[in-house]
Amino acid sequence: MSQAGRVGNGEAVVLVADDDAVTRRLLCRHLEAAGYQVIEAADGAEATAHLTTDLAVALIDLQMPRVSGLDCLRHAQRHCPDLPVLVISQFSEVRDAVAAMKEGAFDYVTKPVDPEELLVHVAQARRSARLTQENRQLKEVVGGSMPAEIIGGDSAASRTLFEQIEKIVPIDATVLITGESGTGKTTIARFIHQHGPRGSQPFVVVNCGALPRELIEAELFGHVRGAFTGAVADRPGRADMADGGTLFLDEIGDLPLELQPKLLAFLQDRIVEPIGGGKRRKVDVRVIAATHQDLESKVAAGAFRQDLYFRLNVLPITVPPLRERPEDVPLLCDHILRRIAGKRGQDPFVLREGAREKLVQHRWPGNVRELENVLERATAFATDREIDVDDLGFAADVVSAPPGEGGRLAGRTLEEIERQAIVETLEWAEGNKKQAARTLGIDEKSIYNKMKRLGISWNRG
Ligand SMILES: Nc1ncnc2c1ncn2[C@@H]1O[C@H](COP(=O)(O)OP(=O)(O)OP(=O)(O)O)[C@@H](O)[C@H]1O
């Protein structure tokens, strides 16, 4: 059961999910009186069906049948990460509410809910979500104007890469950047944008791998009010926001097959057509796409359209993995260490010779991002300004053990075994956490939590 109330309070829509009809009605009445639109859900399953990015706030009771409040919260975090969730709990369940906050709930309200308090919480949640969203959008748009530095050039592989980039920069055509995770594809995309003819215009990112499939089209092309459940206002897409500048399609290999014809049509005529039949608008954007996947194999396997691949692959760039350009490691280390010290307002760190050698020899399955993480950690733990091998925190024996050759399990702690399983799977998945999580049979959030707990520094950002 769901119903919309009267429009007001900036047309903000609040989802109220509670199986207790009396409480639910009461909450709805308070919110409607304050001018909010309200959508009701009588259990967790109904609530998850209504969780969309167009909600302003979700109020979710922790104890609900079918799908628990905690699972609704998790669903919200996966599908609409910017949506603030307020959990409702009995006073006696405050511990659960606090646990929900640890999982990402914005705040909690206890039953019986005080109307004044409720409205304050909802207003705070909205304000905070708006700030986060604006911040992120700003970062994504103006991020293109923060100078992108590409360090390297001591290896033949990176010299060839730099020559390619230099040639591509002034040509205002579509670029396809391929390479393992963490090799610098996004950095190169920004660099090309900044130094090319559109450098003063926006650089707008759409991460096709991070967005749930049902949201990608709306993010790209926008939607009109009423286009789908929860689309309560017109919203422009990122292709619109990029007008005049560059649209960066990250993880293009993850674009679902059913959306590929739409992107192809857009690449052909640059016309943005919002979902729900809004006004068609021509935009002027340069497209740069990137992927860590082998698109040719995906085409051969029927998972990526060949015509789209050809449209994207106008100016191809392949970024070599760091292990194929070890000569670049010292340069990168100096650059990263300078950046870390600058950020912390400290004097530069010095890499001792042994540590430098170790870093050059490492295979870097997570590439430059892994190198950054290792150095961040090493500088945090170094007792003086000098970084030694021990500061690198390589669980060397574990990390370098090839998959399946980790030795006998008996005599080792579960934590060690878990750590090894994660590290090896990440290596195998070339740093791709989504893929590693899938292989390990856990969800993506769990792999992040486990990595944090076990101190594995393999962040993809
Ligand atoms: N050549 C380089 N010079 C300086 N910094 C670099 C270079 N390559 C990568 N980096 C740094 O490494 C990190 C990862 O780079 P980036 O995000 O561009 O990689 P990516 O290939 O886009 O990764 P993913 O596939 O995971 O999105 C960034 O912090 C970036 O600044």
Q: Residue 5: its pLDDT value, please?
A: 32
Residue nearest atom 13 of ligand 1, based on CA coordinates: 369
Give residue limits of the domains in the chain: 9-132, 147-320, 323-454
**Which atom of ligand 1 has the smallest separation from the CA of 292?**
25
**Which atom of ligand 1 has the smallest separation from the CA of 151?**
3
Collapsing DSSP to helix, strand or coil, 419 comes out as: helix
- Predicted model pTM: 0.64
Q: Which helix (H) or strand (E) holds 96?
A: helix 94-102
Q: Residue 460 and residue 370: Cα distance in Å, rounded?
A: 8
Q: Residue 9: its pLDDT value, please?
A: 57
* Helical axes 414-428 vs 433-440, angle rounded to 10°: 130
Q: State if residue 373 touches ligand 1 by the CB under 6 angstroms criterion.
A: no
Q: Residue 124 and residue 127: Cα distance in Å, rounded?
A: 5
Collapsing DSSP to helix, strand or coil, 453 comes out as: helix
Q: Residue 2 and residue 224: Cα distance in Å, rounded?
A: 21
* Of 275, 263, 109, nearest in space to 176 by CA: 263
Class assignment of domain 147-320?
Answer: alpha beta
Q: Residue 236 and residue 287: Cα distance in Å, rounded?
A: 18
Q: Residue 264 and residue 248: Cα distance in Å, rounded?
A: 15
Q: Residue 115: its pLDDT value, please?
A: 87
Q: Residue 204 and residue 194: Cα distance in Å, rounded?
A: 12
Q: How many CB atoms lie under 10 A from the CB of residue 7?
A: 13
Give the dihedral of Cα atoms 227, 228, 233, 234; nearest 10 deg.
-40
Check the CA dihedral 164-169-172-174 and report its sign.
positive
Q: Residue 214 and residue 75: Cα distance in Å, rounded?
A: 14
Q: Residue 282 and residue 284: Cα distance in Å, rounded?
A: 7
**Which atom of ligand 1 has the smallest separation from the CA of 152?**
1
Q: Residue 364 and residue 361: Cα distance in Å, rounded?
A: 9
Residue 461 Cα to ligand 1 middle (Å): 10
Q: Residue 1: its pLDDT value, please?
A: 32
By the 8 A CB rule, do 15 and 50 touch? yes
- Where residue 43 falls (left for φ over 0; alpha for ψ -120 to 50; beta otherwise) is beta
Residue 460 Cα to ligand 1 middle (Å): 9
Q: State if residue 187 touches ligand 1 by the CB under 6 angstroms criterion.
A: yes
Residue 295 Cα to ligand 1 middle (Å): 20
By the 8 A CB rule, do 278 and 288 touch? no
Q: Residue 166: its pLDDT value, please?
A: 94
Q: Residue 211 and residue 80: Cα distance in Å, rounded?
A: 9
Question: Secondary structure of the chain: what % helix, strand, coil (to 5)?
Answer: 50, 15, 35
Q: Residue 371: its pLDDT value, please?
A: 94
Q: State if residue 190 touches ligand 1 by the CB under 6 angstroms criterion.
A: no
Check the CA dihedral 42-77-229-56 and report its sign.
positive
Collapsing DSSP to helix, strand or coil, 178 comes out as: strand
Q: How far apart, in Å, do the first and last CA atoms of the chain sit?
A: 39
Q: Which residue has the tokens 């007008």?
A: 243
By the 8 A CB rule, do 83 and 47 touch? no
Beta strands 13-17; 57-61: pairing state: parallel
Amino acid at the residue 306: Q
Q: Provide the CATH number for the domain formed by 323-454 in this structure.
A: 1.10.8.60
**Of 203, 369, 371, best ligand 1 pocket probe by most atoms within 8 Å of the beta carbon:** 369
Same fold, 9-132 and 147-320: yes
- β-pair partners for 240: none
Domain 9-132 part of CATH 3.40.50.2300: yes
* Of 99, 152, 176, nearest in space to 327 by CA: 152
The residue ranges of the chain whose pLDDT is under 70 are 1-11, 134-146, 230, 232, 395-413, 458-461
Q: State if residue 460 touches ligand 1 by the CB under 6 angstroms criterion.
A: yes
Q: What is the ipTM of this complex?
A: 0.98
- Where residue 222 falls (left for φ over 0; alpha for ψ -120 to 50; beta otherwise) is left
Name the token pair of 384: 């003086």
**Which atom of ligand 1 has the smallest separation from the CA of 335?**
4
pLDDT in tens, 303-355: 999 999 999 999 999 999 999 999 999 999 999 999 999 888 888 899 999 99
Q: Residue 399: its pLDDT value, please?
A: 41
